[in-house]
C-alpha cells in the first residue's frame, strides 16, 4: 500500500477513488481533509485500481479508519487487513479503532476469530443513523403527529425575525461564534473536536453541497450542511450546530433542512450517527428507518 500523507497534493487520486467506490455518508474528500487538521493527521492508503482506505492518526499513535474501505464489496475485507497490517507494522500504531456497518463488522469478526495475529475486545459502541425517505416525508408538517413541532416553530416565528440563508451570507467570525457557543453548552462527557468545525468555516465550507444558517433577529444561531453521498441520490446532513439561545432552534433548523432537501429531489436524507438523547431528538422528525454502525478496536496480539 502507498501511504499518502499530503492528501491535498494527491486530491485527484483520492477523489477518483471516492468517485469509483464511494458509498457511505463520510466518503467525502474535504471531510477527510478537515479530520486531519483537528486532533489527527489524515492518511490515505492507496492500493491501486482506485481502491484505498481513508484513515487518520492521532498524536498518541492511535489509528482510526474513517468510514468504510473504498473498494468493491468483495475486496473490502482484504483491503482492510492490509490497512491493519500497515498501521501496526509501518505506522507504529498503538491501537487501531474502526466504526463500520453491521454487515462488514460481521465479516471482520468471523475473520479475526480465525486469526492468531489480531483480536477484538468485547467493548464497542453503537450509533444509530436515521434515514428520511424524501418521497414520503411530510414537508407540510400536517396532522396530529406534527402538532407539537408546528407549535414550537410557529412560536419562534411569532416572537422573532427569522431568516435562513447559505453560510456564504455571513461573516466567518459570526459562524465561529455559533460553534463556540455550541461547544460551551455541550455536556462534559460529550467531547467535540471544535477544530474540525472551525476548519470547515475557515475553508468556506469546501466539500459541502448545501449549507443553511438560521439567523434570529439578525444573529446566526444554527448551522446545517452536508453533501450528496457518492454513487447514490442520497444526502448526508453532516453538520448540525445550534447555540441553544432560543427554545426551538433545533426543531426549526432541522425541519428547514429536510424541507429544503425534499425540494432538491434527494431520495433519502441521512442525519448521522448518534446515541442517547441526540438520537431521541432526531426521532421527532420522523425518520423512516435506522441503520447502525459499530465502533471497536482491533488489537495486535
Q: Is residue 301 part of a domain?
A: no
Q: 250-274: per-residue pLDDT in tens?
A: 999 999 999 999 999 999 999 999 9
pLDDT of residue 189: 46
Q: 187-199: per-residue pLDDT in tens?
A: 544 566 788 899 9
Mean pLDDT of 166-191: 85
pLDDT of residue 190: 53
- Looking at the structure, do residues 116 and 134 belong to the same domain, yes or no? no
Q: Is residue 269 part of a domain?
A: yes
- Looking at the structure, do residues 220 and 138 belong to the same domain, yes or no? yes
- Looking at the structure, do residues 43 and 148 belong to the same domain, yes or no? no
Question: What string of DSSP letters covers the chain?
Answer: -EEES-TTTTHHHHHHHHHHH--STT--HHHHHHHTTTTEEEEEEEEETTEEEEEEEETTSEEEE-SS-BS-GGGHHHHHHHHHHHHHHTS--SEEEEEEEHHHHHHHHHHHHT-SSEE--S--EEEEEEEEETTT--TT--SGGGHHHHHHHHHHHHHS-EEEE-GGGS-HHHHHHHHHHHHHHS-TTS---HHHHHHHHHTTTTT-SEEEEEEETTEEEEEEEEEEPTTSS-EEEEEEEE--SSTTHHHHHHHHHHHHHHHTT-SEEE---B-THHHHHHHTT--SEEEEEEEEEEEE-
Q: How many domains does the chain have?
A: 2
Query: What CATH code is carried by the domain that includes residue 34?
Result: 3.40.630
Q: Is residue 300 part of a domain?
A: no
- Domain containing 101 equals 2-120
Mean pLDDT of 165-179: 96
- Looking at the structure, do residues 53 and 138 belong to the same domain, yes or no? no
Q: Is residue 175 part of a domain?
A: yes
* pTM exceeding the 0.85 threshold for the entire prediction: yes
Query: What CATH code is carried by the domain that includes residue 220?
Result: 3.40.630.30
- Looking at the structure, do residues 195 and 274 belong to the same domain, yes or no? yes
Amino acid at each position: 500500500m502507498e501511504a499518502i500523507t499530503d492528501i491535498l497534493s494527491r486530491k485527484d487520486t483520492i477523489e477518483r477513488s471516492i468517485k469509483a467506490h464511494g458509498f457511505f455518508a463520510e466518503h467525502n474528500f474535504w471531510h477527510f481533509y478537515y479530520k486531519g487538521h483537528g486532533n489527527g493527521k489524515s492518511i490515505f492508503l492507496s492500493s491501486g485500481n482506485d481502491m484505498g482506505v481513508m484513515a487518520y492518526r492521532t498524536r498518541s499513535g492511535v489509528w482510526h479508519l474513517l468510514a468504510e474501505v473504498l473498494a468493491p464489496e468483495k475486496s473490502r475485507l482484504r483491503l482492510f487487513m492490509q490497512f491493519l497490517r500497515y498501521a501496526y507494522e509501518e505506522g507504529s500504531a498503538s491501537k487501531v479503532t474502526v466504526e463500520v456497518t453491521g454487515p462488514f463488522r460481521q465479516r471482520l469478526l468471523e475473520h479475526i476469530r480465525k486469526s492468531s495475529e489480531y483480536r477484538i475486545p468485547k467493548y464497542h459502541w453503537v450509533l444509530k443513523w436515521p434515514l428520511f425517505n424524501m418521497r414520503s416525508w411530510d414537508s407540510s408538517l400536517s396532522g396530529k403527529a406534527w402538532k407539537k413541532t408546528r407549535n414550537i416553530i410557529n412560536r419562534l416565528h411569532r416572537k422573532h425575525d427569522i431568516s435562513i440563508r447559505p453560510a456564504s451570507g455571513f461573516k466567518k467570525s459570526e459562524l465561529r461564534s455559533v460553534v463556540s457557543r455550541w461547544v460551551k453548552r455541550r455536556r462534559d462527557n460529550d467531547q467535540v473536536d471544535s477544530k474540525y468545525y472551525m476548519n470547515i468555516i475557515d475553508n468556506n465550507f469546501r466539500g459541502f453541497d448545501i449549507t443553511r444558517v438560521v439567523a434570529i433577529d439578525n444573529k446566526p444561531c444554527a448551522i446545517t450542511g452536508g453533501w450528496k453521498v457518492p454513487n447514490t441520490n442520497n444526502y448526508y446532513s453532516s453538520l448540525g450546530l445550534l447555540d441553544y439561545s432560543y427554545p426551538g432552534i433545533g426543531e426549526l433548523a432541522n425541519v428547514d433542512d429536510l424541507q429544503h432537501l425534499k425540494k432538491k429531489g434527494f431520495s433519502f436524507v441521512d442525519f448521522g450517527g448518534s446515541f442517547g438523547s441526540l438520537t431521541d431528538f432526531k426521532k421527532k422528525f420522523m425518520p423512516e428507518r435506522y441503520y447502525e454502525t459499530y465502533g471497536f478496536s482491533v488489537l495486535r496480539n
